[in-house]
Amino acid sequence: MHKYEIEGGFPVKGKIRASGNKNAALPCIAAVLLTDEAVELKNIPEIEDVKVMIDILKHLGCKVEKVKANHFRFQMTDIKNDVPAALASIVRASILFAGPLLARTGKVILPPPGGDVIGRRRLDTHFLALTSLGARVEMDGQFTITANKLVGVDMFLDEASVTATENAVMAAVLAEGRTVIQNAASEPHVQDLCNMLNEMGAKITGIGSNILYIDGVKKMGGTSFSIGADFMEVGSYIGLAAVTRGEVEITNANPENLRMCKIAFGKLGIHWQCEGNSIYVPPGQNLKVMSDIGGMIPQIDDAPWPGFPPDLTSIITVVATQVEGTILIHEKMFESRMFFVDKLISMGAGIILCDPHRAVVSGSRILTGSDLVSPDVRAGMAMVIAAMCARGKSTIHNVYQIERGYESLSDKLSSLGANIKKIKE
């Protein structure tokens, strides 16, 4: 285990390259199971969750070769259907092996997945989707999913779950006939997976919409595919630059995926410029809440794509503590994600936690360095941002949780002039 020691008060300045999208990399790694041919994945972020997913893939019979940084070659040499419990308990994304394993072998033995503790995270939608294709699910401390044959169907998901959509798609590409997935998630990472599967020989249309059409094929082939930019990481660095009064250029940023983020950050007086595939955050921004018409207190709330991403609510909450004015942050999707704000309050933030989903933030407040523990990936990054703009020194423990989602974080921050040390506990 490691910790960060951060001395606050240093504006960030410089250029960094956005990492590949974690939430695209994880299902794309699982999709390797759908073929015996070689699959190359580029722009893969080398983070803890990716390492665990690759370890699971190795256990399932995959030969893995690291071609170079962020570039891996995969080939299934044998295929097993039991996901190891010790690894599954580390990452929630282990659930993503259900769809492709079921499609390839007709049986999956899947222990309960792990992941961030940010509230109840249903698995029901996954199993409803798979059973509609012809699977049977038994639960006795673990999930045993079997199917004699998968047959396409017109299904309507009970929620627009990203990972359930991905599981349904990966099962459906090898199912007999046509599958229609209505109320499908349409986030950029879902689009990445669908585009990769099409390059492997799948027949998926409606990509980017909430209705996907999948005509099953008998066999999938190999491909070489590059993962898109991680807009959660990009949004985090935008917030960091603004509250430290810094100046950052983020290359490989895919600005088209941040249009709703631009609206939300704009409510806090934060703006950036797009130059090709790069984003430039200028220094000296006027951090002031932009009131709604009539002087009403504005609200930032998350929603499924193309709404404001739930994973950035922790980030924008800490950013709001450094902005003059009052704003309501409404996290609709996870009932425990906002509980980290007590740590910000202890640092001097002006926050009222109304209930598990809503926080009223009044700023700007001077934050003071503190001793902190990261509870999950995004709250951990929010604490890093708080420490970067606070007076004095902060120590953040359990940084493994942060590094599950942010590639080379301490090195990237150091390259921008941050006073940060990563120290073994």
Set 49, 116, 230, 376: catalytic member: 116
Q: How many CA within 13 A on the CB side of residue 313?
A: 32
156-184: b (≥16 Cβ within 10 Å) or e = ebeebbbbbbbbbbbbbbbbeeebbbebb
**Closest Cα to residue 64, out of 34, 35, 32?**
32
212-228: b (≥16 Cβ within 10 Å) or e = bbbebbeebebbebebb
C-beta separation of 79 from 105 below 8 A: yes
Count of CB atoms situated within 10 Å of the CB of 263: 11
**Closest Cα to residue 394, out of 348, 332, 334?**
348
* Cα 316 to chain centroid, rounded: 15
C-beta separation of 3 from 399 below 8 A: yes
Query: Tokens standing for 210?
Result: 């909430």
Question: Is 356 exposed, middle or buried, given 0-12, 13-18 or 19+ CB atoms closer than 10 A?
Answer: middle
CA torsion angle for 140, 334, 161, 270 (degrees, to 10)? -150
Tally the residues of the chain. Answer: 425
Backbone dihedral region for residue 57 (phi beyond 0: left; psi -120 to 50: alpha; all else: beta): alpha
Residue 116 is a catalytic residue = yes
Tell me the catalytic residues.
116
